[in-house]
Amino acid sequence: MTDLLPSDTSSSALPQSTPPHVIAPGLAGRLARRAITSPGAQTYDCVTPLTGGVLGSLPQSTVSDVETAYKAARIAQSRWAGLPPERRVVFLRRLHDLVLDQQTELMDLIQLESGKTRVQAFEEVLDVAGVSRHYARKGPSYLATHRRLGALPLLSQSRELRHPKGVVGIVAPWNYPLSMSITDALPALVAGNAVVLRPDNRSALTALRAIELIDRAGLPEGVLQVVLGDGPAVGNAVLERADYVMFTGSTATGRTVAARAGERLVGASLELGGKNPMYVADDADVEAAAECAVRAMFSSAGQLCISIERLILHERVADEFLKVFVPRVKAMKLGADLDWGNDMGSLISAEQLAKVTEHVDDAVAHGATVLAGGKARPDLGPYFYEPTVLDGVQESMQVCRNETFGPVVSVYRVSSDAEAIAMANDTEYGLNASVWTRDTARGRRIGNRIRCGTVNVNEGYAAAWASNGAPMGGMKQSGLGRRHGAEGIQKYTESQNVTVQHGPGFAIPKGISQKTWARAMTAGLKVMKKAGLS
Ligand code: NAD
């Protein structure tokens, strides 16, 4: 039982048909104290999509609160940046353990706010632990000062340093209330920045609870500021004041955010939409591919940026694959329980439900066939929709090229790897792809030619996503910049070249004409090339 739920309605104490979709009285108020808001602030009602019930209400920040947050962040940042990276990562090691220890209450909140299943909420816990552990261990080396080859061997001594940007502004989305709310802030902090974070209102309870844990892990006061509010006013105010912009959301909003950052000449990292393909080659392990496809397409009810929405089947295995896959989809267990065992939960909102319904109805009206699913399930909760597989999808249908961001996948057939690669690349997006083949060399060859930031061979999304040492992000219209690995932290820094020059250096020695000096330098460069010096 968790201390977030009222003690008489623990999830284990009730039958599954009456899940306790409430939080402890006063919890929202307690969590909200961590955000910068003003007395008499407007409030936002946090609603659980699982039932449509109100969980609590949160005060909303104003633009002036955002300014207050930045002032405090700037003061705290200079002290924080003065600590060596080895000291700055200490809180991450503690956070790793705290998140794992407090997982039950975190999963309750994630499920309540997002509508996803327990096991998908657990993925978020794993993700935060993984990112924390990675940057705790590798952060200092990613930020270390390095010697670089100078212009004149031995005489020019270059050092590459990394300085924090200052205050990083982060606008986080709603679909991964724990993971998306805080994992971008962690490397930004380790790099010596302060952060002003605006979590989405729909996931703010989880975000605020996670920030309590970050505080408990020992992050100094003031370094991580939180404001609450909508995107266009408060989110925009956060990004407009940032020394570096971190945004996650749709490509349409991302374009606006990037344009504003461009006007101010500050850097921006954008994690945007996708229309992600999975290719099942003719030598694939069909059973394994079908099992994974269900997870890769319907995890978090498809409200996952790296979720698969296009299923490209080699014609030699298409029928065999669908014979295994479609019954699996039809057998998926949908439910609103705050407990293990369900395969898919709810969509987040009426808007998401309307978009999914529109994509499916439009496809059917234009001649697509529904192989599984295809309708809303109000009997389970206000925004439930069945996992849906469409066949015969054509260019004229909205679902063909537009991101659904829901539990809908379209089936296509190809006769060769080359055709599959062309189809995978025939989209404005380039976020994630999945390739299934028993021949891993073939899988790598295909993967290398797919224009996506991550390609999973014999997995759907989890393998590349959870490989925290390697970069993750979008090509084409799916984004700019990368999360994870060296790039995921170095983007939050300014690199600097400090070069000390010894000896005569570039001065022309006395008594030597400019022409003679130029000849000597020319000969010197030729020697350097022969010696393999850059
Ligand atoms: P959205 O662009 O409408 O909103 C995303 C976030 O930006 C929200 O929190 C919103 O409040 C905020 N926002 C809106 N306008 C803003 C503005 N002018 N300035 C600052 N912030 C603003 O997207 P959505 O429909 O809520 O989210 C789904 C989209 O996000 C999908 O396209 C999905 O693929 C994408 N997404 C991408 C990733 C990734 O890592 N690539 C992760 C999650 C979601």
- The CATH fold assigned to 276-477 is Aldehyde Dehydrogenase; Chain A, domain 2 (3.40.309)
Q: How far is the CA of 323 from the centre of ligand 1 (A)?
A: 36
- State how far the alpha carbon of 77 is from the alpha carbons of 81, 128, 218, 496, in Å: 6, 23, 15, 19
User: In a mutational test of the pocket of ligand 1, which residue from 230, 253, 352, 408 has the highest number of ligand atoms less than 8 Å from its CB?
Assistant: 253
CATH topology of 11-272 equal to that of 276-477? no
Tokens of 286: 């069909």
Tell me the per-residue pLDDT of 182-193, one tens digit each, with 9 for 90 and over.
999 999 999 999
Tokens of 239: 């990004």
Q: What is the DSSP letter of 24?
A: -
Q: What is the DSSP letter of 303?
A: -
Q: CB of 480 closer than 6 A to ligand 1?
A: no
Contact 296, 308 (CB under 8 A): yes
Given a cut of 80, is residue 496 above it in pLDDT?
Answer: yes
Q: How far is the CA of 7 from the centre of ligand 1 (A)?
A: 35
Q: How far is the CA of 250 from the centre of ligand 1 (A)?
A: 4
Tell me the per-residue pLDDT of 235-286, one tens digit each, with 9 for 90 and over.
999 999 999 999 999 999 999 999 999 999 999 999 999 999 999 999 999 9
Per-residue model confidence (pLDDT) at position 5: 52
CA-proximal residue: ligand 1, atom 17 (nearest):
232
Average pLDDT over residues 321-330: 98
Q: CB of 113 closer than 6 A to ligand 1?
A: no
Q: Pick from 109, 76, 85, 93: which is nearest to 196 by CA? A: 76
Q: At what angle do helices 118-143 and 103-114 cross, to 10 degrees?
A: 110
- State how far the alpha carbon of 485 is from the alpha carbons of 272, 366, 465, in Å: 19, 44, 11
Q: CB of 406 closer than 6 A to ligand 1?
A: no
DSSP H helices in 366-495? 398-401, 417-425, 440-449, 462-466, 487-490
**CA-254 nearest atom, ligand 1:** 2
Per-residue model confidence (pLDDT) at position 299: 98
Q: CB of 274 closer than 6 A to ligand 1?
A: yes
Phi, psi values for residue 171, rounded to 5°: -110, 115
Q: CB of 271 closer than 6 A to ligand 1?
A: yes
Tell me the per-residue pLDDT of 126-182, one tens digit each, with 9 for 90 and over.
999 999 999 999 999 999 999 999 999 899 999 999 999 999 999 999 999 999 999
User: In a mutational test of the pocket of ligand 1, which residue from 250, 257, 348 has the highest number of ligand atoms less than 8 Å from its CB?
Assistant: 250
Tokens of 493: 């820094």
Q: Under DSSP, is residue 59 helix (H, G, I), strand (E, B) or coil?
A: strand
Average pLDDT, the chain: 95
* Burial class (CB within 10 angstroms; exposed 0-12, middle 13-18, buried 19+) of 260: middle
Place of tokens 């190809």: 414
CA-proximal residue: ligand 1, atom 42 (nearest):
305
Q: CB of 346 closer than 6 A to ligand 1?
A: no
Per-residue model confidence (pLDDT) at position 153: 87
Average pLDDT over residues 6-14: 38
CATH of 11-272, one of 3.40.50.800, 1.10.600.10, 3.40.605.10, 3.40.50.720: 3.40.605.10
Tell me the per-residue pLDDT of 382-413, one tens digit each, with 9 for 90 and over.
999 999 999 999 999 999 999 999 999 999 99
Contact 66, 234 (CB under 8 A): yes
Average pLDDT over residues 9-26: 59
Q: Pick from 461, 479, 383: which is nearest to 179 by CA? A: 461
Per-residue model confidence (pLDDT) at position 505: 85
Per-residue model confidence (pLDDT) at position 417: 98
Per-residue model confidence (pLDDT) at position 22: 93
Question: How far, in Å, CA of 67 to CA of 274, rounded?
Answer: 33
* Helix then strand then coil, % of the chain, to nearest 5: 45, 20, 35
Q: CB of 250 closer than 6 A to ligand 1?
A: yes
Q: At what angle do helices 103-114 and 204-216 cross, to 10 degrees?
A: 160
Question: What is the model's pTM?
Answer: 0.96
Per-residue model confidence (pLDDT) at position 40: 96
Q: How far is the CA of 10 from the centre of ligand 1 (A)?
A: 33
Residues 6+ away with beta carbon under 8 Å from 523 = none
Contact 195, 189 (CB under 8 A): yes
Contact 199, 181 (CB under 8 A): yes
Largest CA distance in the chain: 96
Per-residue model confidence (pLDDT) at position 11: 38
Residues 6+ away with beta carbon under 8 Å from 210 = 99, 106, 128, 178, 181, 182
- Which residues are identified as catalytic? 271
Tokens of 246: 């971190």
Per-residue model confidence (pLDDT) at position 4: 55
The domain limits of the chain are: 11-272, 276-477, 507-534
Q: CB of 200 closer than 6 A to ligand 1?
A: yes
Question: How far, in Å, CA of 312 to CA of 299, rounded?
Answer: 19
- State how far the alpha carbon of 381 is from the alpha carbons of 52, 388, 431, in Å: 8, 17, 31
Tell me the per-residue pLDDT of 413-466, one tens digit each, with 9 for 90 and over.
999 999 999 999 999 999 999 999 999 999 999 999 999 999 999 999 999 999
Question: How far, in Å, CA of 265 to CA of 270, rounded?
Answer: 15
Tell me the per-residue pLDDT of 88-115, one tens digit each, with 9 for 90 and over.
999 999 999 999 999 999 999 999 999 9
- Tell how strand 146-149 and strand 156-164 pair up: antiparallel
Per-residue model confidence (pLDDT) at position 534: 72
Question: How far, in Å, CA of 238 to CA of 259, rounded?
Answer: 15
Q: Pick from 204, 211, 256, 207: which is nearest to 230 by CA? A: 204
Residues 6+ away with beta carbon under 8 Å from 247 = 170, 171, 239, 253, 254, 257, 268, 269, 270, 271
Per-residue model confidence (pLDDT) at position 504: 82
- Tell how strand 493-501 and strand 156-164 pair up: antiparallel
Tokens of 55: 């969980």
